[in-house]
Homo-oligomer: A and B are copies of this chain.
Amino acid sequence: MTIADTDAALQAHLDANREARMVDYLALLRIPSISGMREHAPDCRRAAEWIANALTEAGLEHAEVCETGGHPIVYADWLHAPDAPTVLVYAHYDVQPVDPVDLWTSPPFEPVVVGDRILARGSSDDKVHVLAHIAAAEALLATRGSLPINVKYIFEGEEESSSVHLEPWLEQERERLAADVAIISDSGFFEGNLPAITIGLRGIMYAQIDVIGTDVDLHSGGYGGVVENPANALATIIAALKGADGRIRIPGFYDAVRALSEDDRAHIAELPLDDEEYRERIGVPLLVGEVGFTPMERRGARPTLDVNGIWGGFMGEGSKTIIPAHAHAKVSCRLVPDQDPATIFNAFRDYVAEVAPPGVTTRVEYLGGGSPSLTQVHHPATQAVSRALEATFGRAPLFVREGGSIPICSCFDTILDLPVVLMGFVQPDSHAHAPNEWMDLNNYETGILTIARAWDEIAVMER
């Protein structure tokens, strides 16, 4: 058979099995595998078992639900291409919480298909990639009887809750996971749904600030003017973290930041996205951020700080006249090379202690972190994935530095000594981490085809 023949057979197989794939998609989305909430631990395990079974049914081997001490990691492989490269595939089956649930137009774990979209928590982040990898392998094995390369799959269950157990597991499984390149599938396309390969990811430092006043709420009449108000104090602390110029005021915060070269800036400036168009897409009155950098630079190549949640006191309808007993905020920083999450947390904690008003007790807790990463555009595997995308979409992909974090990226380099290529197919406005997360079903289908083509391209790449 010629390459064109095998491609046609593959396409025909994918077309014939579209409905069965949808049944699987719906089944996996119905499992509420929220890794960050203890009560969903059984659901995470159920998702892992579902995936292990699907891997076996697809014709992959050694499928195993591996214990990690936390939510399990699913492993499987296919290792019958002795002279071909070995790829280690990574995606994750756990999902973000669903709050605020009342903003969902349908229940987050009851997926609905509307036109070309499937709506559910996890539909784009990141169950679609788990399924696309299984479907690509299934289609190749069904139409050719083999894969062109060796593939090892690991599907994690703690990506949305700081991947606590991944590093020790990678250390422990280093031999079993030996490969030539890691393909991480947890990313997506550029604005306008333009095919893209993510070459940069920001790191993250996630913390919680707790400001404690009293054991119980106080009457704001009886005590207003006498005690520090924990909610006011929290606002004072948060306001001190960032200036009106968008610069983070934590001493030392920018010390390790690798400056953008003229080349970097020129490359970013070339991305086909107008600021005004971008602003309109987001739906905000104004793009805001650090002075001296363009929105595209700020989004992928500069660090930032955001409150992810804030709460304290009375949040109901009407009025309640209290001084809250305590107030809380979740705050995270996105980090760029070469910022270190632990160093940034220490600086953050010390600065919060410095700016915290007297009269209340302020605590800072580390909730997780991950290092930033930049991958090699010129690596043969990156170029192979690029060719696969071009074959599917008829145009070369963009190379983009994204603002998000896949904290575990750096582990594949530091622990397994593997180059990393990010291959993902999610449209950019997917509402990941938000209500009404959705996935473009066309991207899912073309994604499967692209994975199969990427394996073919990697099979013949320079080594």
Contact A288 B226 (CB under 8 A): yes
A259 at the interface (CB under 8 A from B): no
The interface residues of chain B lying within 8 Å CB-to-CB of A328 are 315
Query: Which residue on chain B has the smallest CB distance to residue A235?
Result: B238
Contact A314 B97 (CB under 8 A): yes
Q: How far is the CA of A304 from the CA of B99 in the complex (A)?
A: 34
Contact B37 A314 (CB under 8 A): no
A353 at the interface (CB under 8 A from B): no
Contact B226 A232 (CB under 8 A): no
**Residue from B96, B220, B282 within 8 A of A308 (CB atoms):** B220
Contact B313 A308 (CB under 8 A): yes
The interface residues of chain B lying within 8 Å CB-to-CB of A315 are 99, 309-311, 328
Q: How far is the CA of A433 from the CA of B315 in the complex (A)?
A: 14
Closest Cβ–Cβ distance, residue A91 to chain B (whole Å): 17
A66 at the interface (CB under 8 A from B): no
Contact B206 A319 (CB under 8 A): yes
The interface residues of chain B lying within 8 Å CB-to-CB of A330 are 313-314, 319-320
A424 at the interface (CB under 8 A from B): no
A22 at the interface (CB under 8 A from B): no
Contact A317 B36 (CB under 8 A): yes
Closest Cβ–Cβ distance, residue A290 to chain B (whole Å): 7
The interface residues of chain B lying within 8 Å CB-to-CB of A321 are 96, 204, 206, 308, 332, 405, 433
A222 at the interface (CB under 8 A from B): yes
Contact B358 A285 (CB under 8 A): yes
The interface residues of chain B lying within 8 Å CB-to-CB of A290 are 225
Contact B310 A313 (CB under 8 A): yes
Closest Cβ–Cβ distance, residue A165 to chain B (whole Å): 15
The interface residues of chain B lying within 8 Å CB-to-CB of A282 are 214, 218, 223, 226-227
Q: Quick one: given A96-B320, A320-B308, are A226 and B357 in contact (CB under 8 Å)?
A: no
Closest Cβ–Cβ distance, residue A435 to chain B (whole Å): 5
A62 at the interface (CB under 8 A from B): no
**Residue from B240, B289, B310, B434 within 8 A of A311 (CB atoms):** B310
Contact with B along A348-376 (1 / 0, CB 8 A): 00000000011111000001100000000
5 nearest A-B residue pairs (beta carbon):
A221-B404, A36-B318, A239-B239, A235-B238, A309-B313
Question: Interface of A with B (CB < 8 Å)?
Answer: 36-38, 96-97, 99-100, 103, 161-162, 202, 204, 206, 213-229, 231-232, 234-242, 244, 246, 278, 282-290, 295, 298-299, 302-325, 327-330, 332, 334, 357-361, 367-368, 402-405, 428, 431-436
